[in-house]
Amino acid sequence: MTHNSENPLFQSPDNNNHQPPTEAQRALELETRLPMTGWQQEVSKGLEYGLEAAQSIRDRTIPTFSRGELPHYAGINTFLKAPYLEDVRQVGNYDVAIVGVPHDSGTTYRPGTRFGPQGIRRISALYTPYNFELGIDLREQITICDVGDIFTIPANNEKSFDQISKGVAHVFSSGAFPIILGGDHSIGFPTVRGVCRHLGDKKVGIIHFDRHVDTQETDLDERMHTCPWFHATNMKNAPAKNLVQLGIGGWQVPRNGVKVCRDRATNILTVTDIVEMGLDAAAEFAIQRATDGTDCVYISFDIDCIDAGFVPGTGWPEPGGLLPREALSLLGKIVQKVPVCGLEVVEVSPPYDISDITSLMATRVICDTMAHLVLSGQLPRKEKPAYIHPESQPELVAWT
């Protein structure tokens, strides 16, 4: 594609008024700057490993056995069909590591999120690594691996939490950016605990997208999916004043959790707050509070922060949540302006969603996050971030 003054794609809608180009016009220009190296390497590998196609096939980039992105309905379902990394000791060789956490023993109502990682990976095959509006091609700009799932222990939260913390700590300390596929929201505590083990004296802020506060100490006498932030903010590396909760509201917010938010002075915006103050102001609210005295920010995205009409496949659907465009826009504004150290997407429960749209929404959240990390220069990493401490240390507890 040639960019010249005679090409109407790159002219202003009204040259006399000198109007700026539309988003679509900018996107058309951005695509010309993207390389094709990653795609060409994938094609070459596919032909080598999957054999050349039958003679009747005219497109000679197609192998006999499906390898790589195409066809979208075939192949092994890793996330975005990224390479499966069997030897997790090599995870530091990649920019991003996808980690499944198939755990739903912390669920208090509708189980099924143990199938979340599987569902997200399956529908992610629908996506290409290229985003038109953002001008990003993940295959060309970063390296991604899928390390598979952490071995969780059914019906035992605490043993599963120990497994999750050890797994996340390993990936985080390697320098690879961890993206966790949940799983119910009880995993928010062990994931943050895994990060904290390699922070040394550094601190992490938490930005939490949700309809529920999840700050109870216990639920049904255990640490459940309503409790992660009580225990995460017990740790000195994760101060409660740096917990920001976006989208909270409705009829499923326990009052004892509200009391904890009040006592610990956490930061909350309801959906109405976000809509009335605007996305830019809401993002700035979250950024200021999550980064006040911290060195990095962990993002926990509960899929039920989005209105239940768009994400029926979740354990605790609550009408009145954010619209998908609002949630994605708010997420992007935040990611581009804070040092993000990890992302988890939780509470996707495929058994309640016959069309996979909830898993698809989770996939969009993950892909958008990676794209904004590239746009902001956070990925690929030239070196390990300074907040990663090389040695694992026991978490320091501030609250009793």
Q: Find tokens 């083990």 and name the residue.
A: 197
Sequence-separated (6 or more) residues with CB below 8 Å from residue 346: 113, 116, 180, 182, 183, 184, 185, 187, 188, 300, 301, 302, 303
pLDDT digits (tens, 9 = 90+) for 72-116: 888 889 999 999 999 999 999 999 999 999 999 989 889 999 999
> Is the model's pLDDT at 274 over the cut of 50?
yes
pLDDT digits (tens, 9 = 90+) for 12-29: 445 556 789 999 999 999
> Distance between CA atoms of 242 and 344, rounded to whole angstroms?
17
> Is the model's pLDDT at 194 over the cut of 70?
yes
Q: What pLDDT score does 321 carry?
A: 97
Confidence at 195, pLDDT banded by 50, 70, 90: very high
pLDDT digits (tens, 9 = 90+) for 344-387: 999 999 999 989 999 999 999 999 999 999 999 999 999 999 99
3-state per-residue secondary structure call for 304-357: HHECCCCCCCCCCCCCCCECHHHHHHHHHHHHCCCCEEEEEEECCCHHHCCCCH
Exposure class string for 104-129: b at 16+ Cβ within 10 A, else e: bbbbbebebbbbbbbbbbbbbbebeb
pTM for this predicted structure: 0.91
Alpha helix (H) ranges present in the chain?
Answer: 23-31, 37-50, 116-124, 138-141, 157-174, 188-196, 228-232, 255-264, 271-277, 279-290, 324-335, 357-375
Q: What pLDDT score does 399 carry?
A: 62
Mean pLDDT of 267-276: 97
> Is the model's pLDDT at 6 over the cut of 60?
no
pLDDT digits (tens, 9 = 90+) for 248-264: 999 988 899 899 999 99
> Is the model's pLDDT at 5 over the cut of 70?
no
User: Taking all residues of the chain, what is their mean pLDDT, rounded to a whole number?
Assistant: 92
**Percent of the chain topping pLDDT 90:** 80
The total of other beta-carbon atoms located within 10 Å of residue 304's CB is: 28
Mean pLDDT of 136-161: 95
Rg (CA), the chain: 22
Confidence at 236, pLDDT banded by 50, 70, 90: very high
> Is the model's pLDDT at 4 over the cut of 50?
no
Mean pLDDT of 116-140: 96
Q: What pLDDT score does 252 carry?
A: 87
Confidence at 69, pLDDT banded by 50, 70, 90: confident
